[in-house]
């Protein structure tokens, strides 16, 4: 979708940066509905929920393809997010329950390959669609892919039931989580676009924080909360969920900023922009070739620290790109950034689930996916806010953007990434030795 943002903005007659609503609404929908995915998988079976999730995703995509205004697109993206909310954690749950610990590193690497291929083909495919037809087809094309995915899942995926006595649904916990997450992200959107007086944003922040605090107390008292926060006592899992948040925020901001910078700031076509940004996915695809050797030679802790520092440097280097910068140089830098970024994420995720018992895995995958989507949402909002602030500083506005408006955003994103080091340094050097 990122490659098509300028075309969608022109078609719907809205400022390009306002289209981050279409991205954050999807990501927020993921964060809100992900908590129910673990309960649904345990209650009705992971295979059945996985297929249902794909169907919702395809339906939401079809409706997005016929949207005629930004509000319509946002609403349909929420429906699409409902499907994605169940698809991502349930898919990981199926994998983690089926693969023995000795093979988890290889499995997690392979688990990242299809999404990487999607990210690699997506910008090129999206750029070609926008250049030759209409942006609407970037959504409509998901319909046949969705039907194919359901057929493949029904044929090859084995169902899993971890509990024979399903627990009651934690309605109170779900409402508190949904309210807290919606209010906090809504406050960021309102503040970033000055859509309401400042006190409205602060009120939303207060309501969201209160709701999440209430959920914390509720989860400690509830026998079967919708997300059991006790799994955070595992240090490696806590490092993945909490320590990895700054890294994920940067991952949310970068794919949103790069196409806008290349198309609006540098004046490149959607197809050329897609051909350049595909470098990050191509680099990520190379992770499979070096992952096991890197973990064996350096260990999880040292690899996480080194990859995070290099990832930070890569993000900040994007801010040095100019309209006159060689396309080959930009491609190579982004490919290196994609490689080390993927290396950090796969290492962190693999280690994060290594100590979680199998019976707690649905809670673990649900909380991890929720934190991931919330971080990505914050990254998109942060990216849009930083570019708007830079444009205002340079005497412009959020509608008329220039190349120099994007550089400060990439510097800030790179610095934020380094915050993950505080958690990574606390890991034992021998952590995850059994997986190497």
Distance CA 103, CA 371 (A): 25
- Which tokens in the block code for residue 164? 């024979």
How far, in whole angstroms, is CA 320 from its chain's centroid?
25
- pLDDT for residue 88: 74
- Which tokens in the block code for residue 102? 């000795």
- pLDDT for residue 160: 60
- Give the position of tokens 């925020």: 249
Give the list of residues 6+ apart from residue 364 with CB closer than 8 angstroms, or none: 231, 237, 353, 356
Residue 93's closest CA among 27, 18, 41, 134?
A: 41
φ, ψ at 38 (rounded to 5°): -65, -45
Report CA-CA distances (Å) from 159 to 155, 162, 386.
11, 10, 45
Spell out the alpha helix ranges (H) of 194-286: 198-221, 235-238, 245-260, 270-285
- pLDDT for residue 161: 57
- DSSP string covering 200-225: HHHHHHHHHHHHHHHHHHHHHH-SS-
Count other C-beta atoms under 10 Å from residue 427's C-beta.
20
Distance CA 409, CA 389 (A): 9
Give the list of residues 6+ apart from residue 102 with CB closer than 8 angstroms, or none: none
Tens digits of pLDDT across the chain (436 residues): 777 878 888 888 888 767 777 877 887 787 778 778 777 887 888 888 899 999 999 999 999 999 999 889 989 998 898 888 788 778 877 877 777 777 777 777 777 777 767 766 777 777 788 888 888 998 998 999 999 999 998 998 877 655 555 678 888 988 998 888 888 877 776 665 555 666 777 888 899 899 989 998 998 888 888 888 888 888 888 998 898 999 999 888 888 888 889 988 899 888 888 888 888 888 887 777 777 778 778 888 899 999 999 999 999 999 999 999 999 999 999 999 989 988 888 888 888 887 887 777 777 877 887 788 778 778 887 888 888 888 888 777 666 788 888 999 999 999 999 999 999 998 888 776 666 5
Residue-wise burial string across 369-394, b where 16 or more C-beta atoms lie within 10 A, e elsewhere? bbbbbbbbbbbbbbbbbbbbbbbeee
- pLDDT for residue 184: 80
- pLDDT for residue 134: 87
- Which tokens in the block code for residue 274? 């897609």
> According to CATH, what is the number of the domain 2-156+226-425?
1.20.1250.20
Angle, alpha carbons 54-83-245 (nearest 5°): 120
φ, ψ at 136 (rounded to 5°): -60, -25
- Give the position of tokens 């199998």: 358
Every domain range in the chain assigned CATH 1.20.1250.20 = 2-156+226-425
**Pseudo-torsion of CA 161, 162, 165, 170, nearest 10°?**
-100
């Amino acid at each position: 979708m990122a490659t098509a943002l300028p075309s969608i903005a022109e078609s719907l007659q809205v400022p390009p940066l306002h289209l981050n609503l279409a991205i954050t609404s999807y990501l927020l929908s993921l964060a809100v509905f992900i908590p129910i995915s673990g309960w649904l998988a345990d209650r009705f079976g992971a295979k059945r929920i996985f297929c249902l999730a794909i169907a919702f995703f395809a339906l939401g995509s079809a409706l997005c393809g016929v949207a005629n205004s930004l509000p319509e697109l946002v609403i349909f993206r929420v429906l699409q997010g409902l499907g994605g909310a169940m698809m991502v954690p349930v898919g990981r749950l199926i994998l983690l329950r089926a693969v023995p610990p000795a093979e988890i590193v290889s499995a997690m690497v392979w688990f990242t390959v299809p999404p990487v291929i999607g990210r690699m083909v997506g910008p090129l495919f999206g750029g070609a669609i926008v250049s030759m037809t209409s942006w609407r087809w970037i959504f409509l094309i998901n319909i046949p892919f969705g039907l194919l995915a359901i057929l493949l899942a029904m044929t090859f995926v084995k169902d899993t039931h971890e509990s024979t006595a399903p627990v009651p649904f934690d309605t109170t916990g779900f409402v508190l989580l949904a309210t807290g997450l919606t209010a906090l992200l809504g406050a960021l959107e309102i503040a970033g676009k000055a859509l309401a007086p400042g006190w409205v944003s602060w009120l939303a922040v207060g309501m969201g924080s209160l709701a999440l605090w209430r959920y914390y107390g509720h989860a400690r008292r509830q026998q079967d909360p919708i997300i059991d926060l006790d799994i955070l006592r595992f240090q490696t899992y806590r490092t993945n969920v909490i320590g990895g948040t700054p890294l994920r925020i940067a991952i949310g901001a970068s794919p949103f900023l790069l196409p806008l910078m290349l198309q609006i700031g540098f004046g490149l076509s959607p197809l050329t922009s897609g051909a350049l940004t595909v470098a990050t996915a191509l680099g990520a695809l190379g992770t499979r070739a070096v992952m096991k050797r890197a973990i064996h030679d350096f260990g999880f802790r040292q690899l996480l620290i080194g990859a995070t520092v290099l990832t930070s440097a890569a993000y900040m280097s994007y801010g040095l790109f100019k309209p006159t910068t060689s396309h080959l140089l930009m491609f190579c830098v982004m490919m290196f950034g994609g490689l080390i970024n993927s290396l950090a994420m796969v290492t962190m995720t693999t280690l994060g689930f290594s100590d979680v018992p199998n019976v707690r895995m649905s809670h673990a995958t649900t909380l991890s996916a929720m934190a991931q989507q919330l971080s990505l949402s914050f990254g998109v909002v942060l990216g849009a806010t930083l570019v708007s602030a830079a444009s205002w500083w340079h005497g412009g506005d959020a509608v008329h953007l220039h190349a120099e408006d994007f550089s400060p955003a990439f510097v800030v994103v790179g610095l934020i990434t380094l915050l993950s080091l505080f958690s990574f340094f606390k890991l034992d050097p021998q952590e995850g030795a059994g997986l190497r």
